[in-house]
Amino acid sequence: MKEKECRPPIIAEWILKTVYSDSWRYTHLGDFFEVYLDIYSSRGRFAAWAWYWLQVLKSIPGFLSNKIYWSVAMLRNYMVISFRNIIKNKWFSLINLAGLAVGMACFVLILAYVRFEMSYDRFHEKSGRIFRIVERESFMRSEVVEYSASSPEVLAPALAADIPEIINTSRICKFFADEIVLESGENSFIESGLFADEHFLEMFSFPLLRGDQKSALAAPGSIVVIQDIARKFFGDADPLGKSVVYKNGSSAMISRSPAF
């Protein structure tokens, strides 16, 4: 009878090979195979397969307990040896532990910094499709190169007209806290914020407590304020439709709030 014609179940044989990690013949696996052949020749294939699977099921609990026991024992031995080496070589161990602590601390700080930078403005729904135009300036006879986020006002509509892949554009400009004064009645505060066109809220996912996101910045002179500024100017009253006077030096402009 050829061995290939009466091989044990493939899955069961693989499990036994995993449990008894030794060579094939003259070891546990060889003994199992010899008994399997005897049962196969005397009692048939079904009985041989049943016996083989029974050996697999009986071997797994002992294998797991043996594996756990020796793993714990080896871990205990490693810890004892490590502790003895630390006691024996105090200064050398202290230097190693200090270097390990500093390295792990640097790794954690770098990981936290990279995670913070990668999460910047990721709350916007379309953050993966929003790009910022950066201006690159180089000077004659100099290797100095400067980058800035400023660009001409007409660049946005020009790019949208020339590049069909651009779905929407928005233009923003920052005004500084020491130059801008907002007034409403007797309330007057120095505030900071942005000038933005009507497409700003379409591109960026800033949630509005009240008002329409599409039409909030559509009308000239409209303004969107955060909740804290609305409370400073109007208290608990509804800020929708209220007017705010915007002052910049000697000039002034009245803005109306359609949303906040």
Between 107 and 63, the more confident residue is 107
Query: Residue 173 in contact with residue 93, Cβ under 8 Å?
Result: no
Mean pLDDT in residue range 90-95: 86
Res. 1: pLDDT tops 60: no
Res. 108: pLDDT tops 90: yes
Quick one: what percent of the chain has pLDDT higher than 90?
A: 7
Res. 220: pLDDT tops 60: yes
Beta bridge partners of 245: 183, 254
Res. 113: pLDDT tops 90: yes
Residue 198 phi, psi (nearest 5): -70, -15
* pLDDT at residue 100 in the model: 92
Res. 131: pLDDT tops 80: yes
Q: DSSP for 92-125?
A: HHHHHHHHHHHHHHHHHHHHHHHHHHHTTTTTST
> pLDDT, tens digit, for every residue of 145-171?
888 778 888 888 888 889 988 888 888
Question: pTM for the whole thing?
Answer: 0.51
Quick one: what percent of the chain has pLDDT higher than 70?
A: 86
* Residue ranges of domains in the chain: 3-85, 89-117, 167-259
What mean pLDDT value characterizes the chain? 79
* pLDDT at residue 109 in the model: 96
| 3-12, 62-71, 216-225, 238-247, range with the lowest pLDDT | 3-12
- Give whichever of 28-37, 111-120, 170-179, 222-231 has the largest mean pLDDT: 111-120
